[in-house]
């Protein structure tokens, strides 16, 4: 199992007991350091597990391949979701963690959404910031009651409003306990995302 720790990653142990660990999943071009400050801000004292995406696009790390902007290599999405689930299982064994809540931005949110749809037991829940539909053919996952916060941008040039709405509908059909908020922002992270994620995570 420990051989599955195939991602370069950072792990910060919890210093407040009882909080679910966060799995931090960066956007395109990020790395294992990018979302550490966000994780510490939204869930102070929680354990943080932050892998670097294993796929390179023009030298920029990602969690799966895409064919064009907004067009995903869906076979690779499925393969990388399995790869990430194996990493999570190995990291849980090494660091003695319960199932984490994913906190993903952009490409990281997309792979987290794919994990929810393909291997739902890998996560205890998810905060998906600027996520879009990861797979055109919706899997038949059972997300019964799994908490998910989806934060979309009303002026996002990358994720069309209809796409975010479809992801919300898909997750709801699978049974997720979904909260979907549309903020008056573009694709980038905002103070509103931090505030909403912090309040939502405080209830976990």
What domains, with CATH codes, occur in the chain? 2-201 (3.40.50.1820)
At 193 the pLDDT is: 98
Catalytic residue among 106, 152, 170, 193: 106
The position carrying tokens 């799995």 is 23
End-to-end CA distance of the chain: 28
Is the distance from CB of 89 to CB of 134 less than 8 angstroms? Answer: no
Q: pLDDT tens, position by position, for the chain (204 residues)?
A: 445 678 999 999 999 999 999 999 999 999 999 999 999 999 999 999 999 999 999 999 999 999 998 899 999 999 999 999 999 999 999 999 999 999 999 999 999 999 999 999 999 999 999 999 999 988 889 999 999 999 999 999 999 999 999 999 999 999 999 999 999 999 999 999 999 999 999 999
At 2 the pLDDT is: 42
Instruction: Specify whether 106 is catalytic.
Output: yes
At 1 the pLDDT is: 40
Instruction: Specify whether 156 is catalytic.
Output: yes
Catalytic residue among 26, 50, 152, 156: 156
pTM: 0.96
At 4 the pLDDT is: 63
Catalytic residue among 9, 31, 76, 187: 187
From edge to edge, which strands make up the β-sheet containing 48-51?
9-12, 48-51, 22-25, 101-105, 125-129, 147-153, 177-183
Q: What CA–CA distance (Å, rounded) separates 5 from 52?
A: 11
């Amino acid at each position: 199992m420990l051989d599955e720790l195939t991602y370069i990653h950072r792990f910060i142990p919890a210093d407040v007991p009882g909080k679910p660990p966060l799995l931090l999943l960066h956007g395109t071009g990020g790395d294992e350091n990018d979302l550490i400050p966000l994780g510490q801000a939204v869930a102070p004292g929680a354990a943080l597990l932050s892998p670097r995406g294993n796929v390179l696009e023009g030298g920029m790390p990602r969690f799966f391949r895409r064919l064009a902007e907004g067009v995903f290599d869906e076979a690779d999405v499925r393969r990388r979701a399995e790869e990430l689930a194996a990493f999570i299982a190995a990291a849980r064994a090494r660091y003695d963690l319960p199932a984490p809540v994913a906190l993903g931005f952009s490409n990281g949110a997309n792979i987290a959404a794919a994990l929810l749809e393909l291997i739902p037991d890998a996560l205890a829940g998810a905060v998906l910031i600027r996520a879009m539909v990861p797979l055109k053919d919706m899997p038949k996952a059972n997300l019964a009651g799994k908490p998910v916060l989806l934060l979309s941008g009303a002026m996002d040039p990358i994720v069309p409003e209809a796409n975010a709405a479809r992801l919300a509908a898909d997750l709801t059909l699978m049974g997720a306990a979904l909260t979907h908020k549309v903020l008056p922002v573009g694709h980038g992270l905002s103070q509103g995302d931090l505030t909403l994620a912090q309040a939502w995570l405080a209830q976990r």
